[in-house]
Structure 1
Amino acid sequence: MTDSLNISLLGYPQLARNGRSLQLASTKATALLAYLSVSGMLHSRAQLAVLLWPESDNKHGRGALRYTLSIIKKELGDGFLISNRRQIGLDPTAVCTVDVVQLRQLLSPALGPEEALTAVQCEQVAQGVALYQADFLLGFTLRDCEQFNEWAFIQAETLRRDLATALKRLALTYQQQQNYDAALNYAHRWLNLDALHEPAHALLMQLYAQAGQWTAVHDQYQALNDLLEQELGVPPQPETTALYQELCQKRTVEIPATTPLRAYSPEQRSQWVLMEKMRRFWVNGLLSPLRSEESFIHLKLQTIHDAVVHPWADVLDTRHTPTPANIYHAFRNANRALLILGAPGAGKTVSLVELADYLLAMAAADKMQPIPVILNLSSWAGKQVDIEIWAVEEMVAKYQIPRRLGRTWLDQDRLLLLFDGLDEMRPDFRTECLAALNTFRQEHGLADMVVCCRQDAYETAVLTSNTRLQLNGAVLIRPLTTGQIRESVTPTLATTLFNNAVLLEMAQSPLTLNMLRLAYGDSHRDKNGSTQVTAVPITTNLLFNVYVQRMLQRQADRVKNHPPFTAVTNHLNWLAKQMQRHNQSIFLIEELQPSWLENVRTAQSRSGYWQWIYLLFTRSLLTALLGTPIGWSFIQLIRINPPGVEVHFLTVTAALFGVTAVPWNGLFSIFLLVLCTGLLVALVDGCFFTWRRRRNDEDHINRKSGWLQLICTTLTVVLAATFLFSRTDNLLLAFSLACMEAICFILAFGYLSYGQSWRTEIRARGALTWSWRYAVQLGLLGILLACFWSALAWLQDPQSPRWLLNILNTSFTFFLLGGLRGKRVESRDRPNEGIWIAGKNGVKAALLLSIPTSILVGVTIDTVSGLLTGILYGTLAAAMHGFNDVFKHLSIRLLLWIAHSVPIRYIRLLDYAADSVLLQKVGGGFIFRHRLLQEHFAEIIDK
């Protein structure tokens, strides 16, 4: 077997003979072998003696060389060196591999003429780049051999220069091929060789622009600017600045036209709508206004190695991850599973939205990329269900994504979840949420995701539960430097900050710095032109107070008819408290629930009398308004058609109150019947709602509790209606009418899916679409009901064909009624959008049901029956598909106005607060400018 020798000189020198590691006893022996292997030539003994023993004379130097050769031959044997009386070198016929020689051979295509590399050459050069893992003889020097050290330095610099050239050629070649991921990878490695190399920064900006990652263009230029200022005290070269400005001018937001959407599949349309919502809600709503400000600051990141549990920590070296230039680099370094930590106000949410902007651009360019979705974990605290179930419900509520589509996308890894708000829940919930997130990631094959949290809150949760997130990396958003602070404020304010240690420490937070700039900036100077800063010691609470006053005053100067300052602060105080109670970070007006009616101004008051008023109001008045035309139309139909039943309850009950005119007597009687039934249902629902509150189980839909409530409600309606009808009519008729009333009541108010607690009373809806599954299900129910009444009609007149027509008409009507579903994703994002959609759904459903059923019944039976059928099913469809939600929402708004919690024109007040830079619009919702500001408003009155 032929002996082989492997010499590795990239990094600290290593030797291996026949695969077995060797260690030479002398550093001079290692140096001699390195010199001979790199040169590949024979060298005179005198030259080598001078190189390695410069302080010795010729006799002693040659003697030391002979001794060193004996050490090498003892370890390697005689087959690798050529040695005679005059020269020494490596034997070219020996099986000897030198990584430096291999590297030069692999990189040789990139060192030739400046032209695009072929595919074979790219593969060869890429192998050379992968081989270069450390500099030549890194950490190896000879203290008494300056000439050898100089030779080693020249070799190292030459190899680094060749590597830089190869990386540049690879990046340019892949740029021409529009393979931007590969080009960015090699351009970043080129930049890592010299962080101050401006051509590498310029190439990265060009690649980001061509890839549509415009935020990365800005971040790359800011990183270069900060680095040059910190290291050299100079700005970027004019050519680099001109390139950056040119790229900024070319930036366009590519929004697909609306007309081609008709050619998309329903799933593609839904994906496009979701990306548009993400872009409008977060990028345009939150990030773009900040970027437009001159004071927008490029945040610096720091890699943290012990914050997460890397699944491959035992195999991979994860402690030498380079410092990321921006949040997208951190995301890539963490293999698309990242934890973002930072102090309050450090810019965690902004960084998360910046990352979403990157990922949206990638998803728009490549349909195989997952769509980023920002979700706030604060709402998980009350539900404490699987992350997958909770995420689907959040997408339904926040983005109007159909549940089935959301579940499908999650199962197929078509979504990249970006979680914010882990620190916005109670500590005990936070530890449970860490475990739930780890479980979710394991069940989805270590799915890509990002989590944001305050550093102190996360560290406390880890210490408490001994559980860390199972992600691939973590970064900490560093406090602002003094240079960043000085560049972001006016000279006058900078002088004030740097003369006050407390203010300077507060200004290290981007949020606090922005508030200081707005509260004590140039627009607030005294008569001498200096910035007004109170002599009272500045605290965070005082700063927030001054900020709120200045922002409201500034907006009041712009608007003539503005609300009083106290009214704005009181309403925002109420809103902040309610959002904290309901674990919400985004306030959507359509998500107002009866639980918001609870009196929170006094901590002891949990009687919820406003909520009971709401139940009595909606269950009685709403059922009376919608149930009266339904019940009256149905009774008229069975009176004028087979079985030809005369219901005496209508005339007898109305006569007791002196109402005898037709048809008002029937309408009045049905109104009283439904009103009384609704009052009883209010009591039943109130008991269930209170029971679920005491169980702390009112934040999610519980199927078992729902069925129990459904059974109790149905029995209440059936028994109450049977009792009232039986006072004047026979028991069978009374029971039949009561069953029909119960069925209509359950269908109209959706007890199977929502209305189970104070917090799940109203549910967000999407625009109407068609569902064959539900059409068949409700169509079968219609056939059963039609068979029941047709049997009665057939018993009275077997010769009449109307019982067959009744089956046809009723089954067709219920088929249409069930097929209409509020599931299609809407792309609009105005405030209270869900209620507007519900109202339009009700109108559309009423028209779609009433018109065809009226025509069908009118043609097959008679005109009067057709009109009555249209009223019956049109009203039922309107109630099922939105009118009940609209009425409930308006009831809550009315009661909140009576309780002085919100004004009548609530959206106007929220818009005013957003214009005052206290709130911020996010799509159709509102968020406080920062969670610290929300906490400040929640504590105003209590303090």
Structure 2
Amino acid sequence: MNDHQSTLPDPQRILAAVVFSDAVGFSARMAADEERTLGLVERDLLLMRQICEEKQGQVLKSTGDGLLMYFDNALQAVACALEIQKKLTNQSKSLSDEDVLNHRIGIHLGNVYLKDNDIMGNGVNIAARLQTQAEPGGICLSKTVYDEVKKTLSVKATYLGLRELKNISEAFPVYQILLESPRTRLRSPAPPLRQDYRNRQVLLDKVSHYWIEGVLETSLQRRVALELGLDSRDDLLDRPWSLLWRSQDTSDLLPPETRAIAKFDDLGASRSLLILGAPGSGKTTTLLEIARELIERAKYDVNLAIPVIFNLSSCPGKRQTIAAWLVDELNRKYQVRREIAKTWLQEQKLLLLLDGLDEVNPTNRESCVEAINQFYQDHGQTDLIVCSRIGDYEALQTRLQLQGAICLQPLTPEQVKQYFLNSGEDLAAIAQIIEEDSSLQELARSPLMLSIMSLAYQGMSASELQETVTPEERRQHLFDTYIQRMLVRRVADKPYQDQQTKHWLSELARQLVKDSQTVFLIEGIQRSWLSRKSHKFEYNAKLFSILGAMVGVTFSIILPNSATFFLFEIGLSSFFITTITGAVLGFVSAVCWAVFRQIFGPRVFSPLGVFSYSAVTGAIAVLLGLQATRFYEDWIIYKKSYLVFGDQEALPFLSVIYAASAILFLVVAKNPITPYNKIQWSWFWAKEKLIDGMLWGLGFGVLFGAFSMFYVFIALANHPGFSTSANPNLARFLAPFILGIPLALIVQLLGGLIAFLIGGFTGTDVDRTTKPNQGIWQALHNSLILGTAAMVILGTLAGLVGESILAGLALGIGVGFASGGIAVLKHGLLRLLLRSQNRIPWNYAHFLDYATSCIFLQKMGGGYIFSHRLLLEHFAAMKSQPGGQTK
């Protein structure tokens, strides 16, 4: 029967099953093509009416893009909903994407009032709100419905947890049935494997732990629980398909109590939304509230994309695509292996929540918007939300090509006044002053500033609040007062002086602004923190010298007579000679690099610049070695020692060795400090890296073999024994090949073995645990584990072939440094230099935890974030004075 012919008994209160349906993305599609959308809705509603009648239900009314249906019991209602979604799915298989509409359905069993072909009551409201909780193509059931049908239900119903439904006083238990739909078929055609499922859940837990528990639930704005108005600002988007012309600065105020998540859901498949607002208006809080809802949904439905929050402050613009940047961020911030991150992006399994477009370096902001638009075109099925300050966004020439945009409205004067009235005597003074102070009134309209006022001005008298005049002075005074009040709270157990705390926080804030970062990781400290050239030279000189000494030690262990490589023996141990010589070589390399960098600038990084630097370094190191030889010449003769190569014979060999070492030092110094994940063995990656290692080993083997052949040829030319042999020329020709070729093959096999060991121990797909500086501690752990394993294996092999076990031990040390030790060395050296300059405290994690307890920072996993961007900017603007003072 149809809705015009249905008749109901006289008004009465009865138990009934109420069904609400709704078309996903109806508003957006109407804006794009009104006539076509109305035809699609009419087609689907006709199908629903037919099924409702078949299942002995009644259509009471049409809501435009959906139906309100009534059934005598829950079994009939659920059977009708299942049949509707099933037939809609089958229908969609023969339609183009443009002709497919997805629908949501909500069902509740409860008491309702029946009157004049209509039903009313709380049960109807619950059914209407339930359909908003369903995924496109899904059916949401209340617990009363689920309890009625669970024994006879032929499909799986997933418990979504307690949900807050609009205008419903208490949280409501909700269940969902999700049949195959066009959207879910594109998302995931098959259940995930166990490891894939684990990776997914770990990432969901991390996003929830970092951002929801660590930021949202401790944010300053959350202290002011006031409803914010939303303004539709689609006029600020680049939507070439839209036929609707808008004048500049046009906005449409959305109905009161409209939630951002509802606006996002209304956009349908491939949703994309821009959230705008003034500084401190609650943009990030709104984004995180959306994220919390999406995370809850994704936890119970593996077909849904994984919501992940990224801060755009580090967006590189044209230097890197958004996809490549996202892979880096997933690896660095969420400890996701790059291969997994790339797969998730390619298969469009992530729902991207991008905060802080306004925090991108201004020179990169336009190109960042262009990169987001390009990414969205290339990944059309990826849902996306972007946040930005409205002023910075409006200043851009390029607009985002998203589906919808909303702008958060400031608090109304009535809301601010009511807030202070409800706060009691503690804020009585500010409530009195704000009536006459226009600058305070303007600041209080921001949820962030209102929250800071409540903390900073609590218990203060009216006279203390009347010291400033201009809005800028008022804001400065407000933040200064807030900082001081938060510090005073920790009088009993204060581990740091207040001025020192402000100094270190201002240093951190300035560095984050300089690096265009928002989230700070201790393991993320890089060489760029050293601002002065003298500091960078000191870092390079110490690092190069340490690396040179280590190279010398390795030579002395592998080749006991390796002191001869450095031109002289002076009666001291080979270990001592090579260590000192290697350290000197490192220092010379640092000096040469500083000179070349100063003279040639950025051109020094060109192949010609690097070659020139290494050649000069090698030549200077050889000259210094010759001078040292001459200085000790008399003592060497007295000790009846000798130069193995002789001065002229050694020069070519040594200059190349020194030049290669100089390049090695430079590569190690220039590469960023990379944190490490937990290791696990992988035969696949071990085999992959074995081939790569053998190729690299072959290259080095050919190099060392060639030098060995050269050395042997020169040495034999002067050896008296060969001049008396039967065929001295043939002997001199064959001997270098007999020695050099096996050496090249040995180095090739050795390179393959080392790569096999290091490559086999890969990082976990998604590391579950996170703590401050975890990446560096894990690098140390990996270095010790792999270095020890390599020592045992290579030392045993060396003993079996008749070589010194120490040679295997030395190579094991090299493996340890290559698998994390160098990162630990660079990080530790950098931390020592920064501490000596009073840029950071000794125990950085302890200090950051203290700052978190003062509500200056928020802790998210192993990282830290300032409580708000405005607070970060305030600390960054503080001027440092000698001795770590700030003002």
- Structure 2 residue 800 is matched with structure 1 residue 866: no
Partner of 1:595: 528
Shift in CA distance, 801/549, structure 1 to aligned 2, threshold 3 Å: closer
Match of 2:874 among 894, 917, 936: 936
Letter aligned with residue 912 of structure 1 = Y
Secondary structure at the counterpart of residue 325 of structure 1: coil
Partner of 1:399: 334
Partner of 2:773: 832
Q: Distance in 1 between matches of 2:521 and 2:258?
A: 35
Match of 2:852 among 911, 914, 919: 914
Secondary structure at the counterpart of residue 372 of structure 1: strand
Q: Distance in 2 between matches of 1:692 and 1:319?
A: 57
Q: Distance in 2 between matches of 1:692 and 1:553?
A: 52
Partner deviation per Cα, 1:623-674 (whole Å, 9 max, x = no partner): 13432322212322xx5xxxxxx75356835x2xxxx34xxx3122212332
Q: Distance in 2 between matches of 1:879 and 1:841?
A: 10
**Highest CA radius of gyration, 1 or 2?**
1
Partner of 1:765: 676
Shift in CA distance, 497/920, structure 1 to aligned 2, threshold 3 Å: farther
Partner of 1:254: none
C-alpha deviation, 1:706, in angstroms: 7.7
- Structure 2 residue 817 is matched with structure 1 residue 876: no
Partner deviation per Cα, 1:699-751 (whole Å, 9 max, x = no partner): xxxxx95866765666566656666778744367665566667767767x693
Of Structure 1 and Structure 2, which has the larger fraction of its residues in strand? 2
- Structure 2 residue 235 is matched with structure 1 residue 306: yes
Q: Distance in 2 between matches of 1:882 and 1:584?
A: 25
Partner of 2:697: 782
Q: Distance in 2 between matches of 1:266 and 1:127?
A: 31
- Structure 2 residue 74 is matched with structure 1 residue 115: yes
Shift in CA distance, 712/282, structure 1 to aligned 2, threshold 3 Å: farther
Equivalent pair of 2:323/2:345 in contact (CA under 8 Å): yes
Q: Distance in 2 between matches of 1:292 and 1:516?
A: 11
Match of 1:417 among 343, 352, 372: 352
C-alpha deviation, 1:349, in angstroms: 1.2
Shift in CA distance, 406/124, structure 1 to aligned 2, threshold 3 Å: closer
* Aligned pairs for 1:199-278 within 5 A: 210-212=159-161, 217=164, 220=165, 224=167, 241=169, 243-244=170-171, 267-278=196-207
* Aligned pairs for 1:477-516 within 5 A: 477-482=408-413, 484-485=415-416, 486-487=418-419, 490-492=423-425, 493=427, 495-496=431-432, 499-502=435-438, 503-516=440-453
Q: Give the alignment's TM-score, normalised by structure 1.
A: 0.66
* Aligned pairs for 1:154-553 within 5 A: 161=119, 210-212=159-161, 217=164, 220=165, 224=167, 241=169, 243-244=170-171, 267-290=196-219, 295-310=224-239, 312-314=241-243, 325-335=258-268, 336-381=271-316, 384-445=319-380, 447-461=382-396, 465=397, 467-482=398-413, 484-485=415-416, 486-487=418-419, 490-492=423-425, 493=427, 495-496=431-432, 499-502=435-438, 503-521=440-458, 524-525=459-460, 533-537=465-469, 539-553=474-488
Partner of 2:568: 652
Equivalent pair of 1:786/1:810 in contact (CA under 8 Å): no
Match of 1:624 among 534, 538, 548: 548
Shift in CA distance, 808/346, structure 1 to aligned 2, threshold 3 Å: closer
- Structure 2 residue 791 is matched with structure 1 residue 814: no
C-alpha deviation, 1:104, in angstroms: 10
- Structure 2 residue 559 is matched with structure 1 residue 609: no
Partner deviation per Cα, 1:789-844 (whole Å, 9 max, x = no partner): 59869938969999799468625543435525664343332112222122222212
Identity of aligned residues (%): 27
Equivalent pair of 1:587/1:926 in contact (CA under 8 Å): yes
Shift in CA distance, 418/245, structure 1 to aligned 2, threshold 3 Å: closer
Secondary structure at the counterpart of residue 75 of structure 2: coil
Equivalent pair of 1:588/1:924 in contact (CA under 8 Å): yes
- Structure 2 residue 833 is matched with structure 1 residue 895: yes
C-alpha deviation, 1:547, in angstroms: 0.5
Equivalent pair of 2:274/2:387 in contact (CA under 8 Å): yes
Stretch of structure 1 that moved more, 781-790 or 626-635:
781-790
Equivalent pair of 1:418/1:451 in contact (CA under 8 Å): yes
Letter aligned with residue 501 of structure 2 = V
Equivalent pair of 2:795/2:805 in contact (CA under 8 Å): yes
Q: Distance in 2 between matches of 1:337 and 1:719?
A: 60
C-alpha deviation, 1:168, in angstroms: 6.7
C-alpha deviation, 1:500, in angstroms: 3.8
- Unaligned segments of structure 1, at least 5 residues: 1-8, 11-36, 41-96, 130-155, 188-207, 225-239, 248-262, 600-607, 640-645, 696-703
Equivalent pair of 2:231/2:407 in contact (CA under 8 Å): yes
C-alpha deviation, 1:170, in angstroms: 8.7
Partner deviation per Cα, 1:520-577 (whole Å, 9 max, x = no partner): 22xx356xxx89634544711111111011001112x241x43221111122122211
Partner deviation per Cα, 1:873-906 (whole Å, 9 max, x = no partner): 1221122122222222222222222222222222
Stretch of structure 1 that moved more, 904-913 or 781-790:
781-790
* Aligned pairs for 1:573-592 within 5 A: 573-592=506-525
Q: Distance in 1 between matches of 2:200 and 2:605?
A: 34
C-alpha deviation, 1:617, in angstroms: 1.7
Letter aligned with residue 262 of structure 2 = H
Secondary structure at the counterpart of residue 559 of structure 2: helix
Shift in CA distance, 321/566, structure 1 to aligned 2, threshold 3 Å: closer
Q: Distance in 1 between matches of 2:362 and 2:70?
A: 59
Partner of 1:847: 788
**Equivalences, count:** 714
Letter aligned with residue 668 of structure 1 = F
Q: Distance in 2 between matches of 1:487 and 1:409?
A: 45
Stretch of structure 1 that moved more, 267-276 or 277-286:
267-276
Partner of 2:583: 675
Secondary structure at the counterpart of residue 276 of structure 2: strand
C-alpha deviation, 1:458, in angstroms: 0.9
Shift in CA distance, 804/930, structure 1 to aligned 2, threshold 3 Å: closer
Stretch of structure 1 that moved more, 928-937 or 484-493:
484-493
Q: Distance in 2 between matches of 1:532 and 1:209?
A: 57
C-alpha deviation, 1:358, in angstroms: 2.3
Say what the alpha-carbon RMSD is for the aligned residues: 4.7
Partner deviation per Cα, 1:81-101 (whole Å, 9 max, x = no partner): xxxxxxxxxxxxxxxx99999
C-alpha deviation, 1:264, in angstroms: 6.7
C-alpha deviation, 1:434, in angstroms: 1.6
Secondary structure at the counterpart of residue 858 of structure 2: strand
Equivalent pair of 1:285/1:922 in contact (CA under 8 Å): yes
Partner of 1:66: none
Q: Distance in 1 between matches of 2:819 and 2:466?
A: 57
Q: Distance in 1 between matches of 2:198 and 2:259?
A: 32
Q: Distance in 2 between matches of 1:850 and 1:775?
A: 18
Q: Distance in 1 between matches of 2:502 and 2:343?
A: 43
Q: Distance in 2 between matches of 1:795 and 1:128?
A: 83
